[in-house]
Amino acid sequence: MEIIGKVSKGSKMDQVYIPKNRYGFPIGNYVVIKPLEKPPEEKKPEKLYFYRVKEIEPIKLEVIKEVVKIVEKKIEIYGNIIITGSILEMGFNFNDIDVLILTESKINQESVKKEIERKTGIKAHIINLNNKELINGLETDPLYQMMLSKCISKKRFVYKTGHKIDYKLLDLHLLKSRILIDNFDILSGNEKYYLVRNLLAIKLYLEKEKINNELVNKEIKRTLGADITDIKENIIEKKDFLRKYKLIYRQIFAKILKGIENGAKQK
């Protein structure tokens, strides 16, 4: 026999009342009181893995957790979900959130982007790669190394890759940084920084350095004598800056061109 009662507040002791007209439970019997329903189990906090992210604002971390939940709902089978880009830098000077989704099949990127923007109010840049594409990118493309040098991921990852120089690919990347020379006056500070960072990442990659944001920023300061904040705030002195920038650009271009020519001769 079971009787359902409610715990009531008493003056000295709380109590559970049961009806007098009942079958069983005679006065003097010992009974067990237990909850009718089990309290909901506490949810374990979302575990994420941080790579070279020393600190991040709580509100941005909540956004990242929400993005991971959205991707998990939209995509049942995935290798990893990796958040990267400017959202991981201190402050709120970012325009979107970069989301790398590792899957062995293509996904509906537009659907994921729309849901992220609807839930968070932030535009998303989705990168969908399989594991082989990612490893190849890390071996041959400095931008991939930059992308994963600082990130937050859903699952732990360790990638040990070689260092293969694809001169034709680097030539395409270098072409982007030419924009700064031709359009210095109309570019914003953030656009200038992106193009400068691209140029110096290629330089370090050709020198067979491991690429990360901190290393590239130090190289910008060393070779161009420019403070990162000044570049982003668009308050650098044009003449001296462009003189140094053009010199580095020409040196890198010459090295890439020589690599392409040597590759053609070997074939």
Query: Sorting pLDDT into bands at 50, 70 and 90, what band is 12?
Result: confident
Looking at the predicted structure, is the pLDDT value of residue 80 above 70?
A: yes
Write out the residue range of the structural domain in which residue 230 sits.
167-266
**What is the rounded average pLDDT of the residues 4-12?**
78
- Whether residue 37 is contained in a domain is answered as no
Would residue 208 count as lying in a domain? Answer: yes
Q: What is the pLDDT of residue 7?
A: 80
Q: Is 61 among the domain residues?
A: yes
Does residue 13 sit within a domain?
no
Residues 196 and 128 in one domain: no
State pLDDT tens for residues 184-235. 999 999 899 999 999 999 999 999 877 888 899 999 999 999 899 999 999 9
10 Å Cβ neighbour count for 214?
Answer: 10
**Residues 247, 204 share a domain:** yes
Residues in the chain: 267
In a domain, 17, yes or no: no
My answer on whether 147 and 174 are in the same domain is no
Q: Is residue 62 domain-shared with residue 126, that is, in the same domain?
A: yes
Residue 142 belongs to a domain: yes
Given pLDDT bands bounded at 50, 70 and 90, which one contains residue 45?
low
Give the residue-averaged pLDDT of 55-74.
Answer: 92
Name the domain count of the chain: 2
Percentage of the chain modeled with pLDDT above 70: 94
Distance, CA of 59 to chain centre? 15
Domain boundary among 126, 153, 180: 153
Least confident of 14-18, 41-45, 83-87, 240-244: 41-45
Q: Is residue 201 part of a domain?
A: yes
pLDDT band with cut points at 50, 70 and 90 for residue 18: confident
- Per-residue confidence (pLDDT) for residue 40, from 0 to 100: 54
What mean pLDDT value characterizes the chain?
88
Average pLDDT of span 107-118: 92
pTM of the model: 0.73
- CATH code, domain with 62: 3.30.460.10
Burial of 211 (0-12, 13-18, 19+ CB in 10 A): buried
Are residues 214 and 240 part of one domain?
Answer: yes
- Given a cut of 80, whether residue 69 has pLDDT beyond it is yes
User: How confident is the model over 73-77, as a mean pLDDT?
Assistant: 89
Q: Do 174 and 143 share a domain, yes or no? A: no
Residue 249: its pLDDT value, please? 96
Identify the domain boundary among 92, 124, 153.
153
- Given 153, 183, 214, which residue is the final one in a domain? 153
pLDDT at 3 over 80: no
Convert the pLDDT of each residue in 174-198 to its tens digit. Answer: 999 999 999 999 999 989 999 999 9
Tens-place pLDDT, residues 115-154 = 999 999 999 999 999 999 998 888 889 988 888 889 999 9
Same domain for 116 and 183, yes or no, is no
Q: Is residue 1 part of a domain?
A: no
